[in-house]
Structure 1
Amino acid sequence: MSQIEINDVSVVFKDHAQAIKAVSNVSLSIEKAEVFGIVGLSGAGKSTLVRTINGLQKPTSGHVIVDGVNITQASKKRLAQARQKMGFIFQNFNLVANRTIAQNIAFALTAGGYPKEKQADRINELLGLVGLADRLDNYPGQLSGGQKQRVGIARALANDPDILLCDEATSALDTETAEEIVEILKDINERLHITIVFITHQLEVAKRLFDRVAVMEDGKVVEQTTAYDLFADPQSAMSQRLVGRFLDTEVPDEVRFKLRKTPGQLLSLRYRGEDSLDPIITKIATETGVDVNILQGRIEYIQSRAIGVLAVFVTGEDSAVQQAITQFKAQVDYVRAVTL
């Protein structure tokens, strides 16, 4: 059995006479020590779903089983015991402003029944793990956003959990700081073998952190796949929309203006692997008699595997351009005609 089993879970909220289905018949299996991502736009039901894992949100129907414990039906005592093995990292840190960093972590240790006489050593160990050993006596107001989130991570690890639940843990941070938090979580996962369930709308996080991912839309899981396949071959319309934004080959307006003056077709190409598309482009251009101008390109790495992205402009006789597009579609993983 997987460490976390979400079986046909639905969550319905009543708003006066209206029933709002925040989560709709979701089933997921999350393995021990993997980093599992749940992505989607705001309002997709991500946070509600994750809160069913630690019992903060009771499903209207379905079951959640964690390490063999049916969270949905557990007694208060059994639920409290299960929660002690789950850390939670919040979007907005949730630190107590008038307590030092050490005192914030001590709250979590005390709540988990950690021996008082051992707390000082444990606090030092946790802050060292997130690179804040010298901030023991600082208050939250003296820290940057990234430092506050590091404290949040240390607090979530206080009672040696088996699972970390992360609710948009990087969305309140700038890009560079978010990358630092992602690297800390990757290190924690690899070093401590803790299962991480991370919800986000940021595909940059998915690219760097996740092993597998579920995509949510309107309370439903519309796709489950590996992180690499999400980027390389998104299946659902929502996945294509999210990945399309991240792997965007948008050309500058100035270039678009110039291209409009020349008959032709702008194409967005996506392919797997590090190999250049130059041989394919040359072959297609030769066989169809078109000119193919490479406007821009880059390679992204997901799970240490490459995905190439290109924007090309194809010019020539209309029939030849259409023939070239057909050949691109047959030989390249993803081809999209872009309207100028």
Structure 2
Amino acid sequence: MSQIEISNVSVTFEQKHKQIEAVKNVSLKIEKGEIFGIVGLSGAGKSTLVRTINGLQKPSQGTVVVNGVDITQATKKALAAARKKIGFIFQNFNLINNRTIAQNIAFALTAGGFPEKAQPKKIDALLDMVGLKDRQDNYPAQLSGGQKQRVGIARALANDPDILLCDEATSALDLETAQEIIAILKDINQRLHITIVFITHQLEVAKDLFDRVAVMEAGQIVEQTTAYRLFADPQSSMAKRLVNRFLDEQLPDEVREKLRGEPGVILTLKYQGDDSLDPVITEISSSTGVAISILQGRIEYIHSNAIGVLAVFITGEPSAISKAVQLFTEKVDMVEEVAR
């Protein structure tokens, strides 16, 4: 049995005499120890869905089973016990401003029934895990955004949970700081074998953190796959939209304008693996007699696997161009002609 099983869950809200379907018939299975991501644009239903896991949001229909406990049918006592094993990391940190960092964590420990005398040692260990052992007497206003989120992580770990729920935990941070938080979460996952469920609209997070991922759109799961396959071969229109925006396959308007009147074809090539496309380009150019100019390109690594995206401009005789396009189609994972 999976650690988290969401079965046919829907969540409907009443708003101004209208029914809003925030989540529509969603089913997911999340395994113990994995880092599972839920991605989508704002309003897709991600936050509502993840809150059904710890019972903060009751589904209108369907079931949520966590560690064998049916969260949707649990008594108050059983739900409180289940929540002790589920930590929550918020987007906006949610720290108590008039308490020190140590006192913020002590509050979570006390709420979880942790003995007061043993709290200082536990606080030291938690802050050491997130690299803030020397800041426990500071107040939240004295910390940077990244440091505040580290405190949020330490607080979420206070009661030794086996699941961490992260609601856009990096979206309020700059890219470099977000990478630091991602590194901490990966270390926690590997060291403590904690299951992490992370919702985000940032594919930078998906690339670096997730094992598997679900794509949400308008309250529904439109795709489930591995993080690598999401980038290498997205299937749903929403996944393609998110990936294309991340990989920035769109040619700049200046390049399009410059080539508008030129005879030729623009292709976007996507390929997998570490091998460069240079030999393929040289081979196709030599065998067909076309000229091939590289307009832009990039390589991303997802779980140590490479995905390359290249835009090229092919000029020459029409028949030779057609032959070159055909050869690219045979030798490259994905070929798309770019309209001008």
Q: How does 1:127-276 map to 2 (within 5 A)?
A: 127-276=127-276
CA deviation string 1:126-176 (max 9, x = no partner): 111000011111110011000000000000000000000000000000111
CA deviation after TM superposition for structure 1 residue 47, in Å: 0.3
CA deviation string 1:159-204 (max 9, x = no partner): 0000000000000001110011000000100111000000000000
Distance 2:188 2:137 in 1: 24
CA deviation after TM superposition for structure 1 residue 298, in Å: 2.2
- More deviation, 278-287/103-112: 278-287
Distance 1:66 1:305 in 2: 32
Distance 1:90 1:287 in 2: 57
Q: Which amino acid aligns with 2:141?
A: G
- More deviation, 65-74/276-285: 276-285
Count residues in correspondence: 340
Q: Which amino acid aligns with 1:145?
A: G
Distance 1:288 1:7 in 2: 55
Distance 2:72 2:255 in 1: 56
Q: Which amino acid aligns with 1:118?
A: A
1:293 to 2:293 alignment = yes
Distance 1:207 1:137 in 2: 35
Distance 2:161 2:176 in 1: 27
Q: Which amino acid aligns with 1:299?
A: I
CA deviation after TM superposition for structure 1 residue 283, in Å: 3.0
Q: How does 1:316-327 map to 2 (within 5 A)?
A: 316-327=316-327
Residue 66 of structure 2 corresponds to which residue in structure 1?
Answer: 66
Distance 1:218 1:254 in 2: 34
Tell me the secondary structure at the aligned position of residue 330 of structure 2. helix
Q: Which amino acid aligns with 2:178?
A: A
Tell me the secondary structure at the aligned position of residue 98 of structure 1. coil
CA deviation after TM superposition for structure 1 residue 279, in Å: 2.6
TM normalised by structure 2 equals 0.97
- More deviation, 257-266/81-90: 257-266
- More deviation, 8-17/110-119: 8-17
CA deviation after TM superposition for structure 1 residue 252, in Å: 4.0
Residue 85 of structure 2 corresponds to which residue in structure 1?
Answer: 85
Q: Which amino acid aligns with 2:87?
A: G
TM normalised by structure 1 equals 0.97
Residue 22 of structure 1 corresponds to which residue in structure 2?
Answer: 22
CA deviation after TM superposition for structure 1 residue 257, in Å: 3.2
Distance 1:149 1:98 in 2: 17
1:304 to 2:318 alignment = no
Distance 1:24 1:288 in 2: 52
Q: Which amino acid aligns with 1:205?
A: V
Distance 1:216 1:328 in 2: 33
- More deviation, 227-236/324-333: 324-333
- Any gaps of 5 or more consecutive residues in structure 2? none
Q: Which amino acid aligns with 2:179?
A: E
Tell me the secondary structure at the aligned position of residue 53 of structure 1. coil
Q: Which amino acid aligns with 2:147?
A: Q
Distance 1:198 1:91 in 2: 11
Distance 1:14 1:326 in 2: 54
Distance 1:17 1:249 in 2: 43
Residue 108 of structure 2 corresponds to which residue in structure 1?
Answer: 108
Distance 1:10 1:286 in 2: 57
CA deviation after TM superposition for structure 1 residue 19, in Å: 1.2
CA deviation after TM superposition for structure 1 residue 331, in Å: 2.4
Distance 1:98 1:320 in 2: 72
CA deviation after TM superposition for structure 1 residue 291, in Å: 1.5
Q: Which amino acid aligns with 2:52?
A: T
Distance 2:288 2:36 in 1: 45
Q: Which amino acid aligns with 1:115?
A: P
- Any gaps of 5 or more consecutive residues in structure 1? none
Tell me the secondary structure at the aligned position of residue 104 of structure 2. helix
1:2 to 2:5 alignment = no
CA deviation after TM superposition for structure 1 residue 253, in Å: 4.0
Distance 1:260 1:36 in 2: 44
CA deviation after TM superposition for structure 1 residue 319, in Å: 3.7
CA deviation after TM superposition for structure 1 residue 299, in Å: 1.6
Q: Which amino acid aligns with 1:88?
A: F
CA deviation string 1:54-98 (max 9, x = no partner): 000001111000011001100010000000000000000000111
- More deviation, 281-290/308-317: 281-290
RMSD of aligned C-alpha atoms?
1.3
